Amino acid sequence: MLSLRITSALRFLGAVFILASVTIAQAGLLSDDEARKGVADIKAAQDALDARTARLEASIQSFPDLVNQMETLSQDMAALRGKLEVLGNQIESANKHSRDLYLDLDSRLKLLEAAQGPTPNAAVTPAATSAQATAAAPSVTPTPVPPVPTPTTTAPVATDPYDNALVAFNGGDFTGSLKQFKAFLEANPKDARAANAVYWIGTNQMSLKDYKGARATLQSLIKNYPNAAKAPDALLGLASAHSGLGDNTSANNVLRILIAKYPNSPAAVKARARLQ
């Protein structure tokens, strides 16, 4: 029965990854509403996966031989979060591109209207209008009008170092991703994504079995960014780092702190399952 549950969870994970990959590949061709729906679908799938994983963790506490499978599943979930964040960044970039294009188009249309001048009076006949224009208009060279760009729905190619680091993580290049996130954080310490970058540094260190490094990194995130969106996941990762170092007492204490501070978070659901 337990084997069937694990197989079902892994199949579900595969379906979620397919959904995430297709959504990201098509993000540049979808409308904002469709892209947001894609994000909502991935979030729903992630929540369902978190709940199923929590139940699975609770059921295998007495089966040490399945710990490695659970660790692999946790890494896959982290990869899914990374893909979701990349998609969100692409949508934000596409929205900015659309706004810039609209403003540019609006300014060019105003130039066209100014160059054409006022509309002739409707009571004047076409022949009279033509004669008057011929007699009155001086011989001048028309003012060139900038061409109006053709709108496009294709999103710009992502070149952001943060997104590149996430792509490396999603591809399993934890060493490369770790270096890129550290470089991003060093170059952009005040960026709005600085806390997230610290989280992904710690997650890469966990994936590389550097439990001491992950513990120090995640502790710094919790200390310096207590209100960050990644704080609950950082506490869960910190508990895993303590467990990796064989300090189960500290791991359980961190799980209790997580439940007390963020009782309604998906990370708290997993923390309760671990404490059971």
Is 60 exceeded by the pLDDT of residue 205? yes
Output the pLDDT for position 210. 96
What integer pLDDT is reported at residue 75 of this predicted model? 64
Report, as an integer, the average pLDDT of 113-125. Answer: 54
Beta strands in the chain (DSSP E): none
Distance, in Å, from the CA atom of 231 to the CA atom of 237, rounded to the nearest integer, reads: 10
Percent of the chain residues past pLDDT 90, beyond the cut = 41
Domain ranges of the chain: 1-119+147-157, 159-276
Q: Which of 108-117, 213-222, 239-248 is predicted with the least confidence, judged by mean pLDDT?
A: 108-117
The span from the CA of 238 to the CA of 220, in Å, is 10
Q: Which helix (H) or strand (E) holds 205?
A: helix 194-207
Which fold is adopted by the domain 159-276?
1.25.40
